[in-house]
Structure 1
Amino acid sequence: MTSRISIRLFARITVCLALVTLACKSEAKKLVEVRACSAITMDAPGAANCLVLQYKWKKKEALAYAQRFQFEQDSIAQFKADSGWRADAVRHSKEVQQCAADPSGDMTGCLLGFGWAEPRARATEDSTWRTNGSKHRQEIASCAHRRDMQAGACLQLYYKCSPARAIAVDDSIRRA
C-alpha cells in the first residue's frame, strides 16, 4: 500500500512539475520573444501588445519586460554614442572654436552644420556663453544704455550675439 501511494504521489509530482515547466518560459525564451516584438514595433507599449497577441503573455508582465528591454537598448545606444563622441573630442574642440568665431553668432546653428545633436549643440553654446559671462554682462550693460536701438539688436550687431539669445535678453530687460 505504501509503495502504491508513493507511486501515485510521484506521478502527481511529476505531472505538476511538467505543467510548471511548460507554464514558465525560460529567460532566454522570453528575451527572444521580446527582441522579436521590439524589432517590429516602435515603443515599449507596442512591443508589449505584440507579446500579448503573438506569444500569449500577460499584459503587465509583457509591459514590464518590454520597458526593461527598451531601457537597456537605449542605455547601450547612449553608451556607444558617448564613447564615439569622446573618441572625436579633438575634432569637436576644433568645431567649437571655429563656431565661436563664426560671424553670425549662432553657435548652435554652426554646430548643427557639423552634425551635432541639437541638445548637445545648445548646451555647448550655453556653456560657452557662461564661460565668458563677465564679458557678456558688460556687453549687455553697454547695449542697455543705448537709446538708438534695442539691446538685443545692439548685441547682434556689435557683439555677434545669436538671435535667440538677443531676444531673451530683450525680454529680460523689459520684464526688469
Structure 2
Amino acid sequence: MLRAYFQASRAPRYSLLFALPLLIFYQILAALAPAGPGGMGVRNGADVILESVFIWLAGAWGPRLFMVCLIGAGAWLVARDVRAHRDLSPAVLGGMLLETVVLSLVFGVVVGGLTAALLGTPPPPMTVGFTDQLGRWTMLMLSLGAGIYEELLFRVVLVGLLAWGANKLLGWRPLVAGIAATVLGALIFSAFHYIGPLGDRFDRFTTCSCCSAKPPFAMLGAMKSHLVKLVVLASVVAVGACSKKRTRRAEVVECSSISLDAKGTTLCLVQLYKWKLPDAQKTAEARAHELDSLKTFQEDSVWGLSAAKHKRDFQACQRGTEPLNNCLLVAGWPLHRVRHTTDSMWNAALPQHRRELQACMAKRDFNLSSCLTLYYKWDSDRALETADSVTRARLGR
C-alpha cells in the first residue's frame, strides 16, 4: 500500500496539483505586498533570477512569459499524466499533506540540530535583515517563494547542471558527481541569502544553517524524487523558521524603538526580556548597525529620485555669485551632502587653491582670510581656518 502511495504521489497529476495553491498564493501575496525599504518591490530572489532570463529575452513581457511557460509546462505534464491515468484520489493528496507536515517537523529538528552541533551554540537572535520593515504577509510570501523558486533554481537547475557537468565533462562517477554537486550547491545556496538589502546578516549561524539544510533536502529528493512535496516541505520549514525568529526579533525591535543607542537597547533586553548580557550587547550593536544602514539606504534612495533636480541646483549655484555651500543649503540640500560636494570640488582644484594661497600670503599688508574671500571667493569658514593654520605655522618657527 505504501509503495503504491509513493509511486502515485510522484506523478504530475498529484505532485504539480499539490503545489499549485502555493504558486497561486505566492503570486497573490507578491502582487499585494507593500514596498520594502527604499520603496522597492519585494520578491523572492530566486524568482527574480529566473524571471531575469525571460526579461533578457522578452523585455517588459519577460515576467508574463515566465509565468506562462511555468504554468504551461506544469499543465502539459498534468494533462499528459491524467490521460494516461484517469484516477485522481483525494486520499493521496491528503497523505501528501500529512507527509509534508511530518517531514517539515523532522527536518526542522535535523537542520537545527546540525547547525547547533557544527557551531556548538544555539542560534543567535535576529538573523534576517529588515524583517521589522516587512509585514507578516510579506514574510509569508517570501517563505513560500523560497519553497517554490529556490528549490526550482538551486536543486533542480543548479545542482542538476553541476552533477551533469561533473559526470559528463569531468568523467566522475554519478555518486561522486552528485555529492560534489550537492556540496557546491549548498555553498552557493548559502551565499545567495546575503545578496541585497533584504539579505540575511552574515554570521556563522546563517551560513551553517543554509549549508546544513541543503544536503538533507537533496537526499530526500534523491531517495524519493518527490520534487513538489519537497517544495511544500521547504515552504513549511521556511515559514516555521521565520516565525521562530520573529519572536526574539520583536523584542529587539521594541527595545531599539524606545532606546537612543546600543547601550540602551542592551539594557532593555537584559532587564525587560532577561537576555544574557553578551547576547544582548552583540544583538544591540548589530541592530544599531542595521538601523544606520537602513537609514542611509533610504536617504540615498530618496535622494536618487530627484537626481535631475539636484544636478540643476548644483549647476545654478556654480553660476551664481553666492558661496556654493550657502546656495546649496538654500536649495534644500542636507548639510552632510553639501559638505561632501564642496569638499570633493575643493580637493579636485587643490593645486589652484595652493596658488591662490601663495598669492595672498605675498600681500603682507592684506589680511589673509579677507584676501582669500574677496579675491578668490573662498568661503569664510575655510578662509579663516586656513589663515589660522598659517599664523600658527609662522609662530612655531
Band the TM-score falls in, shorter-chain normalisation: 0.7 to 0.9
Which one of the candidate residues 335, 343, 362 is aligned to 1:118? 335
SS, match of residue 136 in structure 1: helix
How far apart are 1:84 and its partner, in Å? 2.0
Distance 1:46 1:133 in 2: 44
How far apart are 1:156 and its partner, in Å? 0.8
Q: Work out whether 1:79 is the aligned partner of 2:297.
A: yes
Change (3 A) 1:137 1:101: farther
* Counterpart residue number, 1:41: 259
Contact residue 37 and residue 51 of structure 1 kept, 8 A: yes
* Counterpart residue number, 1:11: none
* Counterpart residue number, 1:52: 270
Change (3 A) 1:108 1:49: same
How far apart are 1:65 and its partner, in Å? 1.4
> What is the percent sequence identity of the aligned residues?
36
Which one of the candidate residues 358, 363, 373 is aligned to 1:156? 373
Distance 1:79 1:133 in 2: 31
Corresponding residue pairs, total: 153
Letter in 2 for 1:29: T
SS, match of residue 109 in structure 1: helix
The 5 Å alignment of 1:96-135 reads 96-105=314-323, 107-135=324-352
Distance 1:98 1:148 in 2: 35
Gaps of 5+ in 1: 1-23
SS, match of residue 295 in structure 2: helix
Contact residue 155 and residue 161 of structure 1 kept, 8 A: yes
Distance 1:49 1:82 in 2: 31
Q: Work out whether 1:171 is the aligned partner of 2:388.
A: yes
How far apart are 1:134 and its partner, in Å? 3.8
Distance 1:87 1:157 in 2: 37
* Counterpart residue number, 1:27: 245
Letter in 2 for 1:60: P
Distance 1:168 1:102 in 2: 24
> Structure 1, residues 100-142: CA drift from partner, whole Å, max 9, x if none?
344343x223322233232321121121123333433333232
Higher relative contact order (CA 8 A, sep 6+): 2
Distance 2:250 2:356 in 1: 60
Distance 1:40 1:130 in 2: 41
Distance 1:149 1:52 in 2: 63
* Counterpart residue number, 1:3: none
* Counterpart residue number, 1:91: 309
Give RMSD over aligned pairs. Answer: 2.4
Q: Which moved more, 1:94-103 or 1:41-50?
A: 94-103
User: What TM-score do the two structures reach when normalised by structure 2?
Assistant: 0.35
Q: Which moved more, 1:32-41 or 1:82-91?
A: 82-91
Distance 1:148 1:97 in 2: 36
Letter in 2 for 1:54: L
